[in-house]
Copies of this chain bind each other. A is one copy, B any other.
Amino acid sequence: MGVVVSLGDGKRGQASIAPLVELTRADMGRVNELILSKAGSDVEMIPEVANHLISSGGKRLRPMLTIAAAQIFGYRGDLHVKLAASVEFMHTATLLHDDVVDESDLRRGKRTARMIWGNQASVLVGDFLLGQAFRMMVEVGSLEALDILSAAATVIAEGEVMQLDVAKNLETTEDEYLQVIRAKTAALFSAACEVGPVIASDNRSDRAALRSYGTNLGLAFQLVDDALDYGGKAETLGKNVGDDFREGKVTLPVILSYRRGSDEDRAFWKRAIEGGENGDAELQHALGLITRTGAIGDTVARARHFGGIARDALAPMPKSRHKTALLEVIDFCIDRVN
């Protein structure tokens, strides 16, 4: 447990989401109020379950991106608040269902809703939040935003199903894995960013720029998450090192380490991932193989690649505090491994 692997180039100062938090603070206050109000229901168990996750200290990165992606074009209305809350509800619904699918017992350092209220409540409250997300989008009244977010909902579910196939399959290629995370993670980042210009700008290239920024930021974010699972600290990560390993999840560090390993190494991975023999001793051995094959460093290098694309997506935009903050988010996502 708690193996810390330092992987950054150490040249930059630690990047932060503080500038994004600062710029979106006022609007996020309204987003948070809306979230609490829309998680309400006369059916007592619904706000209980929903608030357990909602108040569990997530960064609310996705709704902040929606707010910033509207503000950057000088948006003055209040539709972005509803869209941001919708995005967070879609995310929360996905987490509730994910925990059921993955049989997880810990999320952000707290017991998962399914451990407290059961799988039934997690499935149904997820459905409720998804319904509320759509209702808020409908209130916004933009068919374009509805199109983007409902398409994302479908793609996310497709990604999760793809992941079921990939989960225990060590022959998964890096390309196949990227397809999975493009769907299950990057699609929502992409939609969260794109709906900003949809309500705030008439310029179609602004939409394309924010969509590309979101997609690539999402890919980088997920890859770093995967790396952290083999080298982060539980207290910063909010999950235990080796959770993915114990669940037999095939992620990029495993894919790289498996492909680069000896026959003996591959036999180990098959026993551990496919056979489910993955206790603490196996985790230590896996961490050794992953370190030796440079799999974490290269997973982060892949993340930097996508981070670079996200950066260039915003490059043509005029200099602004919002642009600077969004660029720093890229570095923040990647620097988390340090």
On A, residues with C-beta under 8 Å from B are 41-46, 97, 100-101, 119-121, 123-125, 127-128, 130-132, 134-135, 137-138, 141, 143, 146-147, 150-151, 153-158, 160-162, 164-165
A153→B124 contact, CB < 8 A: no
Contact check: which of B44, B124, B135, B165 meets A97 at CB < 8 Å? B124
Known: A124-B101, A128-B157. A135 touches B164 (CB 8 A): no
Of all chain B residues, the one with the shortest Cβ separation from A122 is: B123
**A154 to B44 Cα, complex, angstroms:** 15
State the oligomeric state as a number of copies. Answer: 2
A153→B138 contact, CB < 8 A: no
A128→B46 contact, CB < 8 A: no
Contact check: which of B101, B119, B150, B165 meets A135 at CB < 8 Å? B150
Closest beta carbon of chain B to A74's beta carbon, Å: 26
Contact check: which of B121, B132, B150, B154 meets A161 at CB < 8 Å? B121
Of all chain B residues, the one with the shortest Cβ separation from A102 is: B120
A128→B154 contact, CB < 8 A: yes
Contact check: which of B124, B160, B165 meets A157 at CB < 8 Å? B124
Q: Which residues of B contact A146 (CB under 8 A)?
A: 134, 138, 146
B147→A135 contact, CB < 8 A: yes
B125→A161 contact, CB < 8 A: yes
Known: A131-B155, A132-B154. 11 other contacts (CB 8 A): A41-B161, A44-B165, A100-B120, A101-B123, A127-B153, A128-B157, A130-B130, A131-B150, A131-B153, A131-B156, A138-B150
